[in-house]
């Protein structure tokens, strides 16, 4: 598996913001978002599943985040998630995905893991994966715990409305860096959208940590 970096830090995004976690950042993504905070040209090391699990267990953090890049593009990602869930030192596996890859778990066969997998789906421009009837989206529906949109000039209220659900919150996260008045602009643009939408700043940018 191609890994850019491994580190322990505080989660700065979404519902778990402030929680100390172990992060594994994978190399490689099928998208090229201009405000992505992962360097697509960064060097990476090749690590095996057992090696990564051993590292996570040595952090004693109980929560691990698989991010990228796009973690679901990694070979053996299923084996890594299963191995982490079977570890007595891991309570929850958080997966951050752009929503373009099929999620490799069949809920009908593995319902007991529903509460231990925290799936964050973050659709990206320009399409935002509007075809919600696709096989890819169907693989996420039983597992998704939160949705996150990075707010830039492309995101519209109509796009957000299409993804509103009573099963998970939708976070609106300002792209970084942003102007002083950008958050006020988000309020103006999206305050009329009904449903469980929340402002989700990247708190770690303000903390000045990874």
Q: How confident is the model at residue 67 (pLDDT cuts 50, 70, 90)?
A: very high
Per-residue H/E/C for the chain? CEEEEEEEEECCCCCCCCCEEEEEEECCCCCCCCCCCCCCCCCCEECCHHHHHHHHHHHCCCEEEEECCCHHHCCCHHHHHHHHHCCCCCCEEEEEECCCCCCCCCCCCCHHHHHHEEEEECCCCCCCCCCCCCHHHHHHCCCEEEEEEEECCCCCHHHHHHCCCCCCCEEEEECCCCCCCHHHHHHHHHCCCCCCEEECCCHHHHHCCC
The pLDDT value given to residue 109: 85
Q: How confident is the model at residue 130 (pLDDT cuts 50, 70, 90)?
A: low
Distance, CA of 146 to chain centre:
9
Q: How confident is the model at residue 32 (pLDDT cuts 50, 70, 90)?
A: confident
d(C-alpha 35, C-alpha 53), whole Å: 30
**Comparing C-alpha atoms, which of 72, 129, 113 is closest to residue 95?**
72
The pLDDT value given to residue 124: 84
What domains appear along the chain, each with residue ranges and CATH number? 2-207 (3.20.20.70)
| pLDDT for residue 132 is more than 70 | no
**Comparing C-alpha atoms, which of 147, 207, 193 is closest to residue 173?**
147
Average confidence (pLDDT) over 87-106: 93
| pLDDT for residue 168 is more than 90 | yes
The pLDDT value given to residue 134: 76
The pLDDT value given to residue 207: 55
Report the mean per-residue pLDDT for the chain: 87
| pLDDT for residue 208 is more than 70 | no
d(C-alpha 24, C-alpha 30), whole Å: 18
pTM for the whole structure: 0.90
**Comparing C-alpha atoms, which of 70, 116, 122 is closest to residue 94?**
116
How far from each other are the two terminal CA atoms of the chain, in whole angstroms? 21
CB-CB contact of 141 with 114 (8 Å): no
Least confident of 67-71, 80-84, 180-184, 205-209: 205-209
Cβ neighbour number for residue 57 with a 10 Å cutoff: 16
């Amino acid at each position: 598996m191609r890994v850019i970096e491994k580190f322990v830090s505080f989660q700065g995004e979404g519902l778990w913001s402030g929680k100390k976690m172990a992060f594994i950042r994978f190399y490689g993504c099928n998208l090229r978002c201009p405000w992505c905070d992962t360097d697509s040209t960064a060097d990476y090391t090749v690590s095996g599943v057992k090696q990564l699990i051993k590292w996570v267990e040595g952090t004693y953090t109980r929560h691990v985040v698989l991010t990228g890049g796009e973690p679901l593009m990694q070979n053996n990602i299923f084996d890594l998630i299963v191995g982490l869930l079977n570890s007595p030192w891991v309570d929850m596996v958080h997966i951050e995905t752009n929503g373009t890859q099929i999620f490799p778990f069949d809920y009908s066969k593995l319902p007991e893991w529903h509460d231990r997998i925290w799936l964050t789906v973050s659709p990206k421009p320009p399409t935002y994966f509007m075809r919600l009837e696709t096989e890819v989206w169907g693989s996420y529906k039983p597992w998704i715990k939160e949705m996150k949109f990075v707010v830039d000039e492309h995101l519209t209220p109509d796009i957000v409305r299409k993804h509103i659900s009573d099963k998970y919150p939708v976070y609106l996260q300002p792209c970084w860096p942003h102007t002083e008045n950008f958050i006020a602009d988000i309020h103006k643009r999206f305050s009329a959208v009904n449903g469980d939408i929340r402002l989700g700043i990247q708190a770690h940018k303000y903390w000045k940590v990874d």
